[in-house]
Amino acid sequence: MIIVVSSKSKDEELKGLFDYIESHNVQIKSTIGKTHTILGLVGDTVKIDMDAINTFPIVESVKRVQEPYKLVNRKFHELDTIVDVGGYKIGGGHFQVIAGPCSVESHDQILEIARGVKASNVGILRGGAFKPRSSPYAFQGLEGTGLELLSEAKAITGMPLVSEVMSADDIPLFADVDLIQVGARNMQNFRLLKELGKIKKPILLKRGLANTIEEWLMSAEYIMAGGNENVILCERGIRTFETATRNTLDVSAIPVIKKMSHLPIVVDPSHSAGMSHLVEPLSLAAIAAGADGLIIEVHNNPQKALCDGAQSLTIPQFKVINEKIEKLVAFMKTI
Ligand code: PEP
Ligand code: MN
């Protein structure tokens, strides 16, 4: 339910309305504007009588929100949310490229890649330490050691970190990680989402392999309902009948999300494509469609990568593509 009240309402008038609403065990999220204040009611609002709300003279309008997602809903929060990742803003006109290897493999590997992408003006470094692999025999990541190597790379380069958490038990290990990734396979791991709702750190929530946009937003709602408002969505391709690409990048998800939600959305062209030569066109398509950022896999030696070599760009390839990305991001601001 959304209630619009005049911004000139007196404190005692607001208190009367708030007391009435809160007596129904419902939370109020207010957004104060110049002329109006929007009160978003979160919780079970079924028992709240709209006619009773209208009896308060300060109420200008009241309507029920049909969508099951509330806190992530743009109707609750008109302006774009901007998430700060270690000093780099994402959303609301702020665009960032996140780059780095699929997995952290060694000290030298992560450092060479971090320095390489930083030389191309990239602020944020990605690197997986806990890897969700389809095969139990495949490289599972360096786990805690991987996170330590990321911390070293951060200390040396100053780059904030993105890394994937697979279990709620591991969250304390992510103290030095600036943006915690929830991978596609964990998008509906509700216990994990609830735990991530209890911390304040930004969360990068990837879309599940075969999940609808509404399911994805409901997962973001889990994190926000716990109190963590720093959520960034990541479209990484979905499973379709098509086999020519690893996944199918759902470009339309970008404008659809922008309409439904105020949360920033970044695109992962690497996992969408599965092949390095597709990373450039998909990156540019994502920018043209309004994405707030990109997360791209880069490796110092893709042929020898322990995970996702085929979709990883070399450092020189990344440099060329990132120049085009920067140009298109700048151009989009002019139209
Ligand atoms: C990854 O980012 O390396 C990864 C495993 O991504 P996804 O969860 O999108 O497959
Ligand atoms: Mn990967």
Q: Whose CA is nearest to atom 9 of ligand 1?
A: 184
Identify whether 243 is part of a domain.
yes
Is the domain of 203 the same as that of 284? yes
Identify whether 194 is part of a domain.
yes
Is the domain of 49 the same as that of 94? no
Query: Structure tokens of 51?
Result: 């006619």
Distance 229 CA to ligand 2 centre (A): 26
| Averaged pLDDT, groups of 10, the chain, 335 residues long | 92 94 92 88 91 95 93 94 98 98 98 98 98 96 98 98 98 98 98 98 98 98 97 98 98 98 98 98 98 98 98 98 98 97
132 lines ligand 1 (CB under 6 A): yes
Ligand 1 atom having least distance to the Cα of 308:
3
Its domain, for residue 13, covers: 2-63
Is the domain of 177 the same as that of 213? yes
Mutate to test the pocket of ligand 1, among 104, 181, 235 (most ligand atoms within 8 A of CB): 181
Is the domain of 100 the same as that of 146? yes
Q: Which residues contact 122 (CB under 8 A, 6 or more apart)?
A: 97, 98, 99, 159, 322
Which of 11, 29, 63 finishes a domain? 63
154 lines ligand 1 (CB under 6 A): no
Is the domain of 139 the same as that of 240? yes
> Closest Cα partner for 265 from 204, 221, 223, 175?
204
Domain count, the chain: 2
pLDDT at 43: 87
- Three-state secondary structure of the chain: CEEEEECCCCHHHHHHHHHHHHCCCCEEEEEECCCEEEEEEECCCCCCCHHHHHCCCCEEEEECCCCCCCCCECCCCCCCCCEEECCEEEECCECEEEEECCECCCHHHHHHHHHHHHCCCCCEEECECCCCCCCCCCCCCCHHHHHHHHHHHHHHHCCCEEEECCCHHHHHHHCCCCEEEECHHHCCCHHHHHHHHCCCCCEEEECCCCCCHHHHHHHHHHHHHCCCCCEEEEECCECCCCCCCCCECCCCHHHHHHHHECCCEEECHHHHHCCHHHHHHHHHHHHHCCCCEEEEEECCCHHHCCCCHHHCECHHHHHHHHHHHHHHHHHHHHC
pLDDT at 32: 84
**Residues 293, 263: Cα–Cα separation, whole Å:** 12
Identify whether 75 is part of a domain.
no
Query: Structure tokens of 238?
Result: 């979905």
Identify whether 72 is part of a domain.
no
Identify whether 68 is part of a domain.
no
pLDDT at 296: 98
Mutate to test the pocket of ligand 1, among 236, 265, 311, 312 (most ligand atoms within 8 A of CB): 236
Identify whether 77 is part of a domain.
no
How crowded is the C-beta side of 328, counted as CA atoms within 13 Å? 23
296 lines ligand 1 (CB under 6 A): no
Is the domain of 221 the same as that of 283? yes
Do the Cβ atoms of 260 and 293 come closer than 8 Å?
no
